[in-house]
Chains A and B, each alone.
Chain A
């Protein structure tokens, strides 16, 4: 029987990890992800898992040890946030390049400087080209569900890629919410036993991992990495379908909320989607045709499906909780504009709002104001300002 509980995002992530019962976890403390590791260390200390836990001396070593464990043939996990993810940066590319199916919950937090412990998406957006699959989660329930699904996605024989599952720092990681947790045996049956094809500890069949490629092979291996990403979408949908059978909860590549007949829409990632959905409901009650698209799979980017979903909309606002400093807007906006370039029908007007950096709250009035702006753009066909910093002292 599944359990309905009040739980924080960090607790939910740790609980998913307990139920996954990985062979190896190597991790290092960092706010606001520390709790995941602490709770998991308790599981290890109390014999609730079989996992060998490595309390490493840095996030660089956390990812390095996780890579070593995964290459050795173990199901291996880690968790981190912000500067920790930044310190792992070199190793993120290597985990993906070596095609190791590592799963890592990441708690989104701003990057220094100035130092700040609160939520924005600079950390994982900075890792978006690393070759990792990125799945974003609105709340504790989604984080829990996504972490469990990520194991199947990462280890799928057509994929073999690392996968990070993100949630918003403090807002979700420390915020208490309702969630329904699956039974241990249901999770175990769902993820199955990890059976790697080639691994270091298969000493009778020695392999060399991490060989040197010159210009005669590097390009082919990077091309294979891109090729694996082309197969991710289908696998994500297939695993989501299987997950619905055990949980009753439905996941897709993204969440289209009251979007079917929407004239204007907001595209958003993670916890702000919850606030925005409430605004959508309120405006709908007033008869306004507003909708929302919440990103789930960000890497690889399901651009065809997203552009199709937004094709009939007159004006779209993309909310970015990170800046690219390209002066063309945040990373999500830039990707979405590129995605919409080839969308069928008349060109959709698109604007960008960069919000919530360093944990600055975004409220319902601000989101309602964005919808007001969108209606104005839809009416006049004019964009006065493409990129707006929302809720900042200018």
Chain B
């Protein structure tokens, strides 16, 4: 694992000047991920689904990417990069390439949990040597904050607005994509947060070293969609981790390891109340819903503890 000093010497492979919102977690997370690639030993080629990250970093004739980059469509970042990785194997076999190249595919939660799930599932099952990173901002932010299957219960979005007839906002629980990826039996799957950057960078290093497919789900607070001040991004990510709304864990060859266990697990309301998308939950009459959300968090956390205990 690279030291902090070594990491600090590495060039940013996603450079500044892109057009992401002030306070957007996505470029922070992606820079942290790319930092894990050791330039001394390997190069990296990246792919990206249509979405905030893609539209803000590749406005022609400019690009923020210092590495080879491909975007083709919304639902197929994994399939596209699986083609790139296959080309690499083919050309390496023929002796046309002698470099060691790593492959990363990025997608938001819409492009990963929803429309891109089949493409991702297929690529993981086929065993391509690639790392898929979902930057999960918990809704379709690029199109203007519509609910996705990653949107947590209780969030008000433009397609699950909290109203007088439906005071809850989104009524359904979020899909547990990380566990779905674990169920693919891939050698490495993990959940990470840009607030715990050392943990995240280490996970990316590990994921790039495994022989086969790897998946990391990184929480990516969105100041517009979550409705908070831009300087609070990392704080919001940290609160999600501390309240266990977004546990940090990894699954290596089927073995679960929780990477951070908060000593005093604050109530999830501490995280919720800092975000405008949950403001309606704190109005009188929604107490039961708040309790339900806390129960969901506790149940998932206990399940994870049990999975870890199983070894």
Contacts and interface: CB of A to CB of B under 8 A. Distances in A.
A161 interface: no
Given A64-B76, A71-B70, A201-B45, A54 B126 contact: yes
A212 B58 contact: yes
A342 interface: no
B90 interface: yes
B71 A24 contact: no
Nearest to A193: B96
Contact of B87 (A76, A207, A210): A76
B122 A72 contact: no
Contacts of B58: 208, 210-212
Interface string B57-92: 011110101111111110110011111111111110
B122 A58 contact: yes
B68 to A, nearest CB: 4
A210 B63 CA distance: 11
Interface in A74-110: 74, 76, 90-91, 94, 98
B59 A69 contact: no
A65 B130 CA distance: 13
A55 B72 CA distance: 20
B20 to A, nearest CB: 13
A61 interface: yes
B67 A54 contact: no
Interface in B251-310: none
B121 to A, nearest CB: 7
A191 interface: no
A200 to B, nearest CB: 4
Interface string A140-168: 00000000000000000000000000000
A102 to B, nearest CB: 10
Contact of A201 (B65, B69, B91, B121): B91
Contacts, number: 168
Interface string B80-119: 1111111111110110010101000000000000000011
Given A76-B87, A201-B91, A206 B69 contact: yes
A90 to B, nearest CB: 6
A4 to B, nearest CB: 32
A55 to B, nearest CB: 7
A61 B126 CA distance: 12
Interface residues of B, number: 46
A339 B80 CA distance: 39
Contacts of B66: 206
Contacts of B67: 203, 206
Given A64-B73, A67-B80, A203-B45, A52 B97 contact: no
Contacts of A281: none
B7 interface: no
A203 B69 CA distance: 10
Interface in B23-68: 43, 45, 47, 54-55, 58-61, 63, 65-68
Interface in A179-222: 200-203, 206-214, 217
A351 interface: no
B125 interface: yes
A210 B72 contact: yes
Contact of A52 (B69, B80, B90): B90
A61 B79 contact: yes
Interface string A34-75: 000000000000000011101111101100111111111110
Contact of B83 (A54, A203, A214): A54
Given A24-B83, A26-B83, A211-B63, A201 B97 contact: yes
Contact of A71 (B59, B63, B84, B85): B84
A203 B63 contact: no
A23 interface: yes
Given A26-B83, A65-B79, A71-B72, 15 more contacts: A57-B121, A60-B75, A64-B72, A67-B80, A68-B80, A70-B83, A71-B84, A73-B91, A76-B83, A91-B73, A200-B84, A201-B88, A209-B71, A210-B69, A210-B72
Q: Which 4 A-B pairs have the closest CB atoms?
A: A68-B83, A57-B122, A65-B83, A72-B87
12 contacts: A23-B87, A26-B86, A56-B82, A58-B119, A61-B119, A68-B47, A74-B87, A90-B73, A94-B72, A202-B68, A210-B71, A210-B72
